[in-house]
Amino acid sequence: MTLLDHTHNPAARSWLASANLTGADFPIQNLPFGVIRRRGSNEAFRGAVAIGDQVLDLAALAKLGVITGAAGDALQQAAKDALNDFMAAGPDAWRTLRHALFDVLKEGGTAEQAVRSSLIAQADVEHRLPSRIGDYTDFYTSIHHARNVGRVIRPDDPLTPNFQWLPIAYHGRASSVVISGTDYHRPHGQAMPPGAKAPVYNACTRLDFELEMGFFVGPGNAMGRPVPLAQAEQHIFGMCLLNDWSARDHQFWEMNPLGPFLGKNFCTSISPWIVTMDALVPFRVAFERPADEPQPLAYLDEPGNRAAGGVDVQLSVGLESEQHRTKGLAAAEISRTSFRHQYWTIAQMLAQHTVGGCNLQPGDLCGTGTISGPTAGEAGAIVELSQGGTKPITLAGTGEQRTFLLDGDAVILRGWCEREGAARIGFGECRGMVLPAV
């Protein structure tokens, strides 16, 4: 792949020993961006990069003067209390800073002693959202999820006729996007009980998670100027994990005839670190559509997207009940799949978003939609795993059963990329817990 460079060398090592450990999420080949401050302090939030079990404080690093020129300018932007300006700077600035950070963190780097003074243990920091999210759009791009959920709502016709022709999406609620570790209360809303003639108002009884990834917009586009598919990834800064919590009883009642509203707008969780598209280069895979299925229209098709539009991110979902915590047990893994199964690529999602003239802005967030694979154990939502609540799943470690989420349940999403000949990189985790309704 032509975009591979020295920062992807799997043999490269950092002078920070924890970055070289087998299975580490944040080796020197990763270098994801986030926004941090010391936990419990009144310090200003500032940009940071994860490396091993530490974070590199970019504001502190900028003061040292060890990175200068164009990379130094990019460092100043990335050191701010939100990454919007750095995202807006574009791929050249992102890559220039990535290379400079790689150089100061690599084994044998001449600035090691100075740079060490800019490190903070990950255990000692707290995060906030990495950008000021002006808008949040959530897509619906897994054909396996669409069919699984469609069978719950429309058993005889589970797949909508437009699904295979365009990346479907709805406009989400940016104000309720929260950083991993933020718990939320079970929402209230209307639902139509089976066989009833009138809806009821109640706390959600069919609370669900959705395993998704998110991607952040880099440079925006002018209103009325669509982004061609071939240029779409120049407008994508990087990816994170995303949990689109869903009140299924409220959602299924309100979605006739329009899209999600209260069933989705109460909370969306994202992981704190954004893995850049450069870091994901070794894990790109072909976008393939079976020959007997509809092929993308011309504006959603181009050679580069077909050759390497997909990303092979391995994903898992853990469910941690109160019993797990009381007994000191690890969360029960209830699903594992890969992002490579999505029916549409992130470039196609962004191109579709702008084709009507919509102007995206730096720092905007897009969700990929629930990620489900072709087998039962790869479902990305509990409504699929429990077949609409009709077949309880059993949690390892405690033997508890679930059809939907209970109060006190925590859901932990994890993601990582690995293949032979490349350094493993991780996304960390995206965690949230259900609190009782208020």
For 28-69, strand residue ranges (E) read 33-38, 46-51, 54-57
Sign of the C-alpha dihedral, residues 69, 62, 49, 275? negative
The strand pairing partners of 333, in sequence order, are 318
Among 28, 130, 125, which residue's Cα sits nearest to residue 81?
130
First and final C-alpha spacing in the chain: 53
Helical packing angle, 91-105 and 69-78, nearest 10°: 100
Active site annotation includes 145 = yes
Phi first, then psi: what are they for 274, rounded to 5°? -100, 115
| CB contact at 8 A, 17 and 11 | no
AA identity, residue 252: F
CA–CA separation, 241 and 370 (whole Å): 11
Q: Rounded to whole angstroms, how far apart are CA atoms 219 and 302?
A: 21
What one-character-per-residue DSSP string does 211-249 give? Answer: EEEEEEE-S---TT-PPPGGGGGGGEEEEEEEE--EEHH
Which residue, 283, 376, 397, 276, is CA-closest to 329? 397
Residue 435 contacts residue 185 (beta carbons within 8 Å): yes
Per-residue three-class SS string for 240-293: EEEECCEEHHHHHHHCCCCCCCCCCCCCEEECCCEEECCCCHHHEECCCCCCCC
- Short-list 209, 212, 210, 202, CA closest to 249: 202
Instruction: Considering the candidates 8, 127, 145, 250, report the single residue annotated as catalytic.
Output: 145
CA atoms within 13 A on the CB side of 418: 13
- CA-wise closest residue to 61 among 146, 124, 118: 118
Structure tokens at 320: 């941690």
Number of neighbouring beta carbons within 10 Å of residue 154 = 11
Euclidean distance between CA atoms 191 and 205, whole angstroms:
9
Q: Which residues are catalytic?
A: 145
